[in-house]
Amino acid sequence: MADNASGSDSLLFLTDEQLRKGIEAMFFAYRGFTADPDRILEGLDYGRAHHRAIHFIHRAPGMTVSSLLGILGVTKQSLNRVLRTLFDDGLVEARVGKTDKRERRLHLTDKGAALERALSDAQRARMRAAYRTAGPQAVQGFRTVLEAMMDPEMRRQYQGLREDSP
Amino acid sequence: MADNASGSDSLLFLTDEQLRKGIEAMFFAYRGFTADPDRILEGLDYGRAHHRAIHFIHRAPGMTVSSLLGILGVTKQSLNRVLRTLFDDGLVEARVGKTDKRERRLHLTDKGAALERALSDAQRARMRAAYRTAGPQAVQGFRTVLEAMMDPEMRRQYQGLREDSP
DNA sequence: TTTAGAATGTCAACAAGGCTGACGTAGTTT
DNA sequence: AAACTACGTCAGCCTTGTTGACATTCTAAA
């Protein structure tokens, strides 16, 4: 209720023109969002798919293959191609589940953790700059809108990720 | 300066943890963002690349091939493959430039405009729902952060698009 | 007026990363 | 013992990106 420029109280922010601006903002911003990690990955034989796998394994160590599948929303064949190269290159290791031996619990090796750090440092640097420029209140709004834009299942993934019990 | 919950004035919003949340929010939200148009496109022989071309041609009718290339950030060979199918299917037409006859000015046909409408209706519906849920102030912040996240050139594209002079 | 350069199209070949379908092997559960 | 689950894998296909080379047409500059 504080910022009143351009009709905050009215419904003017729901016009097609405003929505289009939001749509294009998502498009252009996502490019920036992926640009820095992409630059690191290129030449290393890895792509965005590897980045995503590494990110979420780092995020929730001990995660099983099938929960990773659920988060990434791809087929097991597709994920497997990625995971295989990560195993072969010694970035990720799979430990047989303790209670259920069919499960593969995924962990980053030191080498994998190093790459993860390089990638997320780059990505966070941009994020941090954007956050700092925009300020805390804008960041709050940013997160709120993004969350509202997710599919319900994805929102659960987003909110509910926690370290998988080993 | 109004909203003070959870340390707006401090720098707590710049912690790695907060940044990671932002990063994952972008990831999951982008999935939702593209989900609805993707559903429409699937089965129609078209993909996201066609959607993007159609979107920007609609946005700035009379746009040349090279400015579209600049916006999309792909190679001409890649764009051409997409444009060719759009020409062949009668969704887009190219008119020879008036002053410079080398240029192809791109326009949607009625058929193309109809598909554009279907796609953007779907995408806007989700956007509108998210905006409405989040409220005008959040939307303001959303746009601010996204803009700060773009590469400078992309920010220019984002801000500077206008109807190309015929 | 030639000539260089720009805007566009196109052929070919390749790679990443999606997908489906089918099948195999452990290990768990009933 | 039988059925189900978690995972891996082979094969083949699609979209969409890439590079490199070359042709055409038009514009602009020397």
Residue in A with minimal Cα distance to B139: A141
* Residues A31, B73: C-beta atoms closer than 8 Å: yes
Closest partner residue to B138 (CB to CB) among A28, A136, A145 is A145
Give the integer Cα–Cα distance in Å for B115 and B43: 14
Work out the minimum CA distance from A134 to partner chain B, whole angstroms: 6
Please give the structure tokens belonging to residue A75: 């087929």
Tens of pLDDT, residue by residue over B101-159, are 999 999 999 999 999 999 999 999 999 999 999 999 999 999 999 999 999 999 999 98
Tens of pLDDT, residue by residue over A57-88, are 999 999 999 999 999 999 999 999 999 999 99
A149 and chain B in contact, CB less than 8 A? yes
CB-CB contact of A41 with A47 (8 Å): yes
Query: CB neighbours (10 Å) of residue B15?
Result: 12
Q: What is the mean pLDDT of residues B6-13?
A: 67
Q: What is the mean pLDDT of residues A98-122?
A: 97
Residue B26: predicted pLDDT? 98
pLDDT of B166 over the 60 cut: no
Length B86 CA → D22 C1' (Å): 25
% of chain A beyond a pLDDT of 70: 91
Q: What is the mean pLDDT of residues B40-55?
A: 94
Helices (H), A1-47: 16-41
Angle at B33 between CA B31 and CA B38, to 5 degrees: 80
Residue A107: predicted pLDDT? 98
pLDDT of A100 over the 50 cut: yes
pLDDT of A158 over the 80 cut: yes
- Give the model's confidence band at A2: pLDDT under 50 very low, under 70 low, under 90 confident, else very high: very low
pLDDT of B1 over the 60 cut: no
pLDDT of B68 over the 80 cut: yes
Work out the minimum CA distance from B40 to partner chain A, whole angstroms: 16
- Give the model's confidence band at A95: pLDDT under 50 very low, under 70 low, under 90 confident, else very high: very high
Single out the residue of B118, B137, B123 nearest to residue B35, CA to CA.
B123
Residue A12: predicted pLDDT? 87
pLDDT of A1 over the 90 cut: no
